[in-house]
Each structure stands twice: as C-alpha cells, then as structure tokens.
Amino acid sequence: MGRIVLLNQNMINMIAAGEVIERPASVVKELMENSIDAGATAITVTVEDGGRRLLSITDNGSGMDADDLNAAFESHATSKIKDTDDLHGISTLGFRGEALASIASIAQVRAVSRTPKSDQAHCLEIDCGQKKPVSPCSGDCGTTIQIRDIFYKTPARRKFLRTANTEMGHITEQFTRIALAHLQLDLTLLHNGKELYRLSKDQPIRRRIAQLFPMIPADDLVETDSHEKSIRIRALLGRPNISRTNNKFQYTFLNDRFIRDKFISHAIKEAYRGLLEPNRFPVTFLFIEIPYTDYDVNVHPTKTEVRFYNANLVHSQILGAMREKLLGIDLHMPVQLPTDHDSTGAARRQEISEAMADFFKAHRPVHRQQELDLGPARPFPPPTLAERAPLRRPTGPESLAAPEPVYDEVKYLQIHDSYILEQTDEGFVIIDQHALHESMIYETLRRRVGSDGLESQRLLLPENFDVTDAQAGVLANNAALIAKLGIELTPFGPKTYAVQAFPTLLDKKVQPVPFIQDLIDMLMDKGGTLNAQDLLDDVLNMTACKAAIKAGQKLSDSEIQHLLADRRHYESISRCPHGRPTTIAFSKSELAKQFKRT
Ligand SMILES: Nc1ncnc2c1ncn2[C@@H]1O[C@H](COP(=O)(O)OP(=O)(O)OP(=O)(O)O)[C@@H](O)[C@H]1O
Ligand SMILES: [Mg+2]
C-alpha cells in the first residue's frame, strides 16, 4: 500500500489557516473585509484579552440566509467569483473563499446573520471545524461573528501569541488600515469594554487621519491629487520634519486595499530623495486607483501583495506626482527658539538675544560699507543707485535656470563667509550658501540627466590622465553613465585617456581631470553594491557638492544676488542632497516674542 493519503478537509483548512491566520489581528482583517464586501456602512469590533478570549465583529451589511450561512464556512466557498474570467479584475476585498473556513478550523465560532428580507436571524456554531446545524435565532439585519479561544486546539500556534498589548497593537493596525481606506464606514473598536476608536462615516480623510494619528500635526501633511494615464493618485505627504526612523507610517492603498509593494516603496524613497537625512522615512498616505484589470491580487494568501502588469508606469506616475508636489511646497525649516517654559529657556533665550545683538553691532553688510541702523522695524538699508544697476553675469554661482535673474531688493548680508541672512516678508531666513547652491545644482542635474543627459562642451585642449587596468575596466563598464553626464573620453595610448568634452554646467566650477578621477574612485567603491539608479544619484550628489560654492567663500554682491534670484526657480529646496537643511526661517512673531515685544 502506498504511503500517500488525501488529507481530510479539516486538516486542509488548518493548513490554509496557517497561511492566512497568523494571529488575532488576521481574523479582524478578514472579518472586516467580509463586512465591507457585504456592503456594510457600520462595523463594530469588540476584543477581549488582545483577541485571545474573544473577537467579535458586527456589521449592518447584506447578511446571509440559512443556506449561505451554512455554505460560508466551507472551504473554497465564495459568492465573489465564479469562473476564471472573474479572476482577472477582482473588485472585492475577498475572493479566495477560504477565510471563514480557516478561522473556523482553529477556534470556537458563533455566527449570527440576517438578511433584510428575512424576519429572523440564523445562527451557526463551529468548534474547531466541528459544525452544528444552522438554527433560527433572534438578531438584527447584518452579521455578527464571534471568535473565542483562538488556537486553543493548536497549542503550538497559541504559544506564538504575544501579550494582550502586543496583539492589540496588531489589531489596531489592521483596524487603522481599513479605516483609512473606507471613509464610508462608521467604525468602532473596543478592547476589554473600553472604546479605543469611534470613527464617523463620511468625514474627510484628514479628519480620519487626525483621529487615528493624533501625533501627526495636520499642517505637516500636504495633499496632492493627480489623474493621468488611467492612474489616479491621491496622497497626503508628510513634511520632512515629521519623518520617522522606520517605514511604519507609510500607508499605501490600491483601490481601497492596503498593500505593500517594493516598487511603490522605492518610488516614495526616490520622491523624498534629498529632502530627508539617510535612514529617515517619510510619513505618507497614498491612495492609488487603477483599473482592476491592470494588476493581479491573487499572488499572496493575505492579499497584501499584488503584481502590477505595468509596474514601471505605476512607479513613474507615483514618483512624478509626489516629487512634483514636494518640490512645489515651501519646506523651509521653521525655527523653534526656546521659550520661558523650558527649564533652561530663559538663559538660552538671553544668550541668543545677546548673540544676535552683538552680531548686528559687529557686522556690516558686505554690500555696503556703513553701519547698519538697527531701528526696531527697519529692513536692511535701501540699495544705492549703483547697486540697483543692471547685474553682471556672475563669476561664481552661476544662473542655473533663469536667463537673467533679478534680485532687485537689497535685503541680505553674508556672515562668516558661509551664511546669507535675508529679510523676508514673514521675518528672516538664514541660508547655508553651500547647501542651497548644492541643492539647486543637484536638482538641475537630476532633471537634465533624467531627460536628455547633460549638455557638454568640447575642451579647447583635451586633457590627459593615466589609469590602472582596474580603472580602465570601471570606465568601460560605466560608459553609459559617463555619457549621460556629458563627459567624452577617448583612449590615448594603452593606459591613458583624453577628456574631449565636459558638462557645460560644470564649466569653471570643477577641473575635469580631478573630477573624473574622483568619479572613477566612486564608481569603484560603490559600483558593485548600488543599483544603477542609486549609483547615478550618488554621482549627482558628488557632482553637485563639488560644483557648488563652498562654505568659507566670500561672495560678491552680484554672486549673492544671483544665488538668491536663482533660488526662486527652486522654490522648495529646503534641504541639500545629504538631507541637511539649506534654509532656516525665523518668523517676525518669534522675534517679537523673543525680544518681549508681545
Ligand atoms: N459579514 C458577511 N456578510 C455577508 N456575507 C458574508 C459575510 N462574511 C462572509 N460572507 C459570505 O461568506 C463567503 C465566504 O467568506 P470568506 O471570507 O470565507 O471568503 P471570501 O470573502 O469570499 O474570500 P476570502 O477567503 O478571500 O476572504 C463570502 O464570499 C460571502 O458570500
Ligand atoms: Mg473574506
């Protein structure tokens, strides 16, 4: 006799449960999804002891009659799909017909359901797969499913359950995901008799986020909405100042289903590139709508992963929409000076006030050789006629986007040859000259490399440099990247190259040969470990850093004016590519407060 036997149905269900039901939170997810598919507008989730003792989900959806109630707990029993055609374009949250059968195989279940047509409810009890007959009972329209003593007959699984608090954390997370995606629902979550959330239906998404994440200030989320190429993207994007140390606050929904997707995570990371310090993760709520036929959700038992048929398009649309929004907003860092409430606040405030007063007494604006009159509300002194004369093209920081930048008001001051103080309508800002210029160059490089590559110009005299075999190999392997940068190299003898052309943008800012040598070093260092996109990005970072004006570099009036004028084309460059801020803003009201004017 052979050794192979067919498993009985309950074993099959328990094995399926192993994939789908990891912990109480998985039950909550599956049952809430069923309620949504049943058209419910209100769902109440009641939990006891982190879900070990009891999970109960009540909805006001379509309900089930006696036959459906009986069938619902069989495996592969579903009302949501019928044939293979239905698999291409699933619009419901469930479709596998496995969740209830799985749940019923690992716990004690009691389900009560009533359809609007029926004047009575029906009840079904199942104890770890052992089903009792359906019987009439009293109950409201809709469905209530109670799950008791999860995993009580599978001690190995029960052992993996964590403390009630931890399990409740997972349940809250599942509840949150559903709450964010389904604004049409009244939702309640109770634990051990205590109400954790009561959310009203049809509120704006911002309201829901505020209720679920009270720690996220509403002002720190910026909204975007775009619809292109059959992809609609709505997003609330956290400003960089509320970034986190992990990606837990990145919520992505595809047609109202919470998903995790590596392409989308990558697009989010790219969109925030240069706006965040390394190892920080932005807060993002992303709602994507695409036709159901453009992806496959039948990829993973928990349905949190999908396969996009055109992942590149989804990636580029998301990246484009997010990046455009992020670059279009004012991300300047507001400054928080200490207040009197801080323990050391008064002393520090005094210190800062004195330092500022000293500074203004001791420094003269570089554009004017006269003392500043620091009358209370006076801006920096008005420009002389000569200063208002048309600007020369600068020799240092060069215009990156505007043909003739104009900065017609003289309200700035360079300090320590590194920072520029500028008066603004709202107060004043301190600009890190290197970081700002670097960000502008980086952004220009990124845009141009992304489209046609960098424009280059031929050197009057080609410059030669020697390479080792390994370096020559690196140059050959990265020929495409080097060409994109607008660098043209030709072999000049066995171990020598000649630089024939170099990017116009870097003209007079960096020396071709030392630059190319650093580039080779970088490609050698990182070429093996980074993917093409990240490598290119690191190269652009390095290029921008080298080409930018330096800290400690004294700038002429005209150079400062060009820097400030050019910046207008890069409104939101508030951080350098390394994630450091470029601009720190002080508001008038903060100043008035600090000087006790209010
Ligand atoms: N709360 C509910 N209200 C009305 N009908 C329900 C409810 N829950 C389940 N059902 C019915 O029971 C069926 C089986 O539910 P089950 O969750 O096992 O499978 P599914 O939702 O179809 O697919 P999946 O396994 O992917 O969740 C559903 O197709 C639906 O017809
Ligand atoms: Mg289901």
pLDDT tens for each residue of the chain, 598 residues long: 789 989 988 888 888 888 889 999 999 999 999 999 999 999 999 999 999 999 999 999 999 999 999 999 999 999 999 988 888 899 999 999 999 999 999 999 999 999 999 999 999 999 999 999 999 999 999 999 999 999 998 888 888 898 898 999 999 999 999 999 999 999 999 999 999 999 999 999 999 999 999 888 888 999 999 999 899 999 999 998 888 888 889 999 999 999 999 999 999 998 988 787 777 899 999 999 999 999 999 998 899 999 999 999 999 999 999 988 987 776 655 555 555 554 444 555 555 555 555 544 444 333 332 222 223 322 333 332 223 223 233 333 444 444 455 676 788 999 988 899 999 888 888 999 998 999 889 888 888 888 788 999 999 889 999 888 888 888 988 998 999 999 999 988 878 999 999 999 898 889 999 899 889 988 888 876 777 778 888 889 889 988 999 888 899 988 999 898 888 777 566 666 666 778 888 888 888 888 887 7
| Residue 314: Cβ-neighbour burial (10 angstroms; 0-12, 13-18, 19+) | buried
Residue of 30, 55, 57, 78 best suited for mutating to test ligand 1, as the one with most atoms within 8 Å of CB = 78
Mode of pairing for the β-strands spanning 186-191 and 42-48:
parallel
The protein residue whose alpha carbon is closest to atom 11 in ligand 1 is: 72
- Residue 294: per-residue pLDDT: 95
Q: Residue 92 CA: which ligand 1 atom is closest?
A: 21
**Closest Cα to atom 8, ligand 1: which residue?**
34
How far out from the chain centre does Cα 361 lie?
44
For residue 410, what are its two tokens? 């003289």
Closest ligand 1 atom number to CA of residue 145: 1
Question: Which one of 20, 21, 27, 34 would you pick to mutate in the ligand 1 pocket, going by the greatest count of ligand atoms within 8 A of its CB?
Answer: 34
| Cα-to-chain-centroid distance, residue 376 | 43
Q: Which residues contact 424 (CB under 8 A, 6 or more apart)?
A: 585
Ligand closest to Cα of 79 equals 1
Q: Looking at the CA of 72, name the nearest ligand.
A: 1
**Residue nearest atom 12 in ligand 1 by C-alpha distance:** 72
Q: Is 379 left (phi over 0), alpha (psi -120 to 50) or beta?
A: beta
Our mutation pick for probing the ligand 1 site, out of 28, 30, 37, counting the most ligand atoms within 8 A of Cβ, is 37
Q: Where are the beta strands (DSSP E) in 456-537?
A: 456-466, 488-491, 496-503
- Quick one: tokens of 448? 């141009």
Pocket-forming residues, ligand 1, beta carbon under 6 Å: 30, 34-35, 37-38, 59, 61-64, 72, 77-80, 94-101, 143
Residue 46 CA: distances (Å) to CA of 54, 200, 519 = 8, 17, 60
**Residue 346 Cα distances to 69, 270, 337, 349, 527, angstroms:** 69, 42, 11, 5, 52
> Which one, of 174, 141, 38, lies nearest residue 93 by Cα?
38
* Bridge pairing between strands 231-238 and 221-228: antiparallel
Please give the structure tokens belonging to residue 417: 């040859």
Alpha-carbon gap, residue 100 to 77, rounded angstroms: 9
Strands 307-308, 295-296: parallel, antiparallel or unpaired by DSSP? antiparallel
* Contact by Cβ (8 Å): 569, 403: no
153: CA distance to ligand 2 center in Å? 23
Q: Kind and range of the H or E element at 99?
A: helix 99-105
Ligand nearest to the CA of 35: 1
Confidence (pTM)? 0.66
3-class SS letters over 234-302: EEEEECHHHCECCHHHEEEEECCEECCCHHHHHHHHHHCCCCCCCCCECCEEEEEECCHHHEECCCCCC
pLDDT value at residue 373: 29
In angstroms and rounded to an integer, the radius of gyration of the C-alpha atoms of the chain is 32
Looking at residue 283, its pLDDT comes to 96
Ligand lying closest to the C-alpha of residue 76:
1
d(CA 189, CA 178): 12
- Residue pair 59/43 in contact (Cβ under 8 Å)? The answer is yes
Q: Within 44-97, where are the H helices?
A: 66-72, 84-87
Strands 250-254 and 231-238: unpaired
Which protein residues have their CB within 5 A of the ion that is ligand 2?
34, 94, 99
**543 vs 545: CA distance, rounded Å:** 5
Q: How many CB atoms lie within 10 A of CB 519?
A: 21
